[in-house]
Chains A and B, each alone.
Chain A
Amino acid sequence: MKYPTVTATLAAATMAFGFSAPVHATGKMTCEAGPQSGWVSRADLEADLVEKGWKIKKSKVDGGCYEVYGTTPEGDRVEAYFHPVSMEKLLVLRRGKELFRKK
Chain B
Amino acid sequence: MELMTAALRTLNSLPVFWLVLSLPALALMRGFWAGDIIAMDMLHPTGEFSARFMIIAMIISPLITIFGNRGWTGWLLRRRRSFGVAAFVYAMLHMVFYIVDMEELEPILAEFWAPGIWTGWAAMLFFVPLAITSNDASMRWLKRRWKILQRLVYGAALLTLAHWLLIHDGMTGALVHFIPLFMLQLLRMIITYGRKKKNVIKADSPRPL
Q: Residues of A with Cβ closer than 8 Å to B?
A: 3-4, 7, 10-11, 14-15, 17-19, 21, 24, 26, 28, 57-58, 69, 71, 75-77, 94-97
Contact = CB atoms under 8 A, between A and B. Distances in A.
Nearest to B108: A77
A19 B176 contact: yes
B183 A75 contact: no
Interface stretch (B12-20, B23-31, B163-171, B198-206): B163-171
B176 A96 contact: no
B110 A77 contact: yes
B198 to A, nearest CB: 15
A76 B110 contact: yes
B74 interface: no
Nearest to A24: B170
B38 A14 contact: no
Contacts of B190: 3
B38 A96 contact: no
A58 B176 contact: no
Interface of B: 38, 40-41, 66-67, 101-102, 106-107, 110-111, 114-117, 166-167, 169-170, 172-173, 175-176, 179-180, 183-184, 187, 190-191
Given A77-B110, A96-B114, A7 B184 contact: yes
Nearest to A12: B180
B107 A71 contact: yes
B178 to A, nearest CB: 10
A4 B107 contact: no
23 contacts: A3-B66, A4-B67, A7-B184, A11-B179, A11-B184, A14-B179, A14-B180, A15-B176, A19-B176, A26-B170, A28-B169, A57-B38, A58-B38, A58-B40, A69-B40, A75-B107, A77-B110, A94-B110, A94-B111, A95-B114, A95-B116, A96-B115, A97-B114
Contacts of A10: 183
A75 B102 CA distance: 11
Nearest to B167: A95
Contacts of B173: 18
Nearest to B59: A11
Given A4-B67, A57-B40, A26 B116 contact: no
Nearest to B39: A57
Contacts of A94: 110-111, 114
Contacts of B110: 76-77, 94
B41 to A, nearest CB: 8
Given A18-B175, A26-B170, A95-B114, 13 more contacts: A3-B187, A3-B191, A4-B66, A7-B66, A11-B179, A14-B175, A14-B176, A18-B172, A21-B172, A24-B170, A95-B167, A96-B114, A97-B114
Nearest to A21: B172
A81 to B, nearest CB: 13
